[in-house]
Structure 1
Amino acid sequence: MSVKCAGCPNGIKGENFMVCSRCPDRYHYTCLNLTKHDFVNFTKEFKDTWVCPSCRSKEPKRGDNSNTPVRGSAPAPTTLTKAVNSADHNDNANVTLRSKTRTTSTANVAVSSKSCSCMTPEILREIIREELDKKLDTVLSGIQSKLTTIDESLSLLNSEHEQIKVDVEDHKALLKHLERENEQLRNSTKDLSQRLQQLEQLSRSNNLEIQCVPENKNEKLYNTIQHLGKTIKCTITESDIQYCSRIAKQDPRSLRPRSILVKFNNRRLRDTFLAGVINFNRKNPSDKLNTAHLGYAGDKKPVYVSEHLTPESKSLHAASHSLALDKLT
């Protein structure tokens, strides 16, 4: 047989009730106008010394004695019992706080008594609301923390992006400056190269290059040049020649003999010698200057006399000669 609540006609189930320390009456904590939070926070010592409203109303009162026990059969003022933890109050600190007396009819009290329950919808809503608030607070705290982290990351990325933009602009300006400087250097190099080539060619103004003359270990190049002068009717003495020697081949794989470099004392003599070769070849188109004219036995092989050109000029001369031959054919 279940024990009934002294404050309502419903039975008491579970452990959510208060027991008076002076009488055997038991009360739902909701019938005492207490919340679940208050009931849970009560200490065991407080619950063991708790006095119900009925027993408390029987005590002699020093002041107003208008309190009545909690009963469901008779009209009674609404009672709100506010209990606090034993950490803040001692065993005798059971204070019963009462709201203003509200007059209700016997019928209303009876209906209220019959509808009283240990777990009302309001209590359920309050519990659910508290749990949802706790959960929501946790979720919102996590979201806020993540948003703060994201905001800091975005701020860092934005500052880095701005710095990158500044660096890019600086690099663009530097690149333009380097391009202008490179163009100036290229033009200067081209100009210097042309001037150097002119100076190098000018330094060869007294030189002639004689090609395809057979090589001989016992050859005397000065005698060969003098013999060539007699052939073209341009008398040359040994004192007219400042320098005479064989020069290295541009292409080591070539089978042609090394050319002879002749440096005359002055440019006028060189030009006279070159003009004599050109006139000789012009007057003897069928028997142009060859090895037989220089006293070499065997097959006749042509001998060429030209200005001593720089490597760049030689390449240009060869390209133009090849192009001319292509045009003729």
Structure 2
Amino acid sequence: MDLRTIKEELSFLKDTKSGLEFLSAEYDRMKKELKTSEEHIKSLLAENSNLHTKVNELSNRLVLLEQYSRETNIEVNGVPESKTENLINVAIQICNTVSISTDVIEPATCTRVRKMNESNKRPRAITIKHLSVKTCDEILAPVTKFNKKNASNKLNTGHLGYI
């Protein structure tokens, strides 16, 4: 072999060595980056899991709060709607029909609630909100008694003067 060939071989080996060093450095950099990414993913997974738990806890709490906020409500369905209706009078008619004092209605707030399905032909429900659960019970117990006593003609709009 001549000297020129040896120099070419050495130059080729130096280029190869420099290429391998570059590739080795890139490999080390990518390995470090991968490790950092894996740690970041683990951290995000843990955070995601914690957030899911928190969302479930808050959803459950919201359901309980919504139930608690409605525990003083009485819902009346099937009463025809009128532009000139007085919902307090509807509540008073119910009290008169089941023979209870209309005093329990006085602090109540009566409203029609929005339909869940707008295409439904039934009238919107009436919600009667009272100040206490005790007041609701003072109304619901006589209504239940009335319905048991009149099993074949339970409380309906006919009893309230609607035909």
TM category (shorter chain) comes to: 0.7 to 0.9
The DSSP-based 3-state class of the residue aligned with 1:294 is coil
Superposition deviation, residue 278 in structure 1: 2.4
Superposition deviation, residue 226 in structure 1: 0.7
Give the Cα–Cα distance (whole angstroms) in 1 for the partners of residues 23 and 114 of structure 2: 66
After superposition, give the CA deviation of every residue in 1:253-286 in whole Å (9 maximum; x if it has no partner). 2222111111113220112212222222233232
The DSSP-based 3-state class of the residue aligned with 1:158 is helix
Residue 290 of structure 1 corresponds to: 156
Residue 73 of structure 2 corresponds to: 207
Residue 142 of structure 1 corresponds to: 8
Within 5 A, what are the aligned runs for 1:60-139? Answer: 133=2, 137-139=3-5
Change (3 A) 1:286 1:139: farther
Residue 17 of structure 2 corresponds to: 151
Residue 144 of structure 2 corresponds to: 278
Change (3 A) 1:226 1:146: same
Change (3 A) 1:279 1:151: farther
The DSSP-based 3-state class of the residue aligned with 2:108 is strand
Residues 232 and 276 in structure 1, CA contact (< 8 A), matched pair in contact too: yes
Superposition deviation, residue 148 in structure 1: 2.1
Give the Cα–Cα distance (whole angstroms) in 2 for the partners of residues 208 and 167 of structure 1: 62
1:190 aligned onto 2:63: no
The DSSP-based 3-state class of the residue aligned with 2:79 is coil
Question: Which of 100, 109, 122 is equivalent to 1:234?
Answer: 100
1:261 aligned onto 2:127: yes
Change (3 A) 1:143 1:212: farther
Change (3 A) 1:246 1:138: same
TM-score, scaled to structure 2? 0.86
Within 5 A, what are the aligned runs for 1:170-185? Answer: 170-185=36-51
Superposition deviation, residue 181 in structure 1: 2.2
The DSSP-based 3-state class of the residue aligned with 1:215 is coil
The DSSP-based 3-state class of the residue aligned with 1:202 is helix
Residue 87 of structure 2 corresponds to: 221
Superposition deviation, residue 238 in structure 1: 7.2
TM-score, scaled to structure 1? 0.45
The DSSP-based 3-state class of the residue aligned with 1:208 is strand
Superposition deviation, residue 208 in structure 1: 1.2
Superposition deviation, residue 221 in structure 1: 0.9
Question: Which of 118, 138, 157 is equivalent to 1:252?
Answer: 118
Residues 91 and 105 in structure 2, CA contact (< 8 A), matched pair in contact too: no
Ranked by relative contact order (alpha carbons within 8 Å, sequence separation 6 or more), the top structure is 2
The amino acid that maps onto 2:109 is Y
Greater shift after overlay, 158-167 or 177-186? 177-186
Superposition deviation, residue 225 in structure 1: 0.7
Give the Cα–Cα distance (whole angstroms) in 2 for the partners of residues 214 and 207 of structure 1: 20
Which structure is larger by alpha-carbon Rg, 1 or 2? Answer: 1
Superposition deviation, residue 203 in structure 1: 2.0
Superposition deviation, residue 248 in structure 1: 1.0
Q: Identity of paired residues, percent?
A: 34
Give the Cα–Cα distance (whole angstroms) in 1 for the partners of residues 117 and 134 of structure 2: 31
Residues 240 and 265 in structure 1, CA contact (< 8 A), matched pair in contact too: no
Superposition deviation, residue 138 in structure 1: 4.1
Within 5 A, what are the aligned runs for 1:2-81? Answer: none
- In structure 2, runs of 5+ residues without a counterpart are none
The amino acid that maps onto 1:267 is V
Aligned length: 163
Residue 61 of structure 1 corresponds to: none
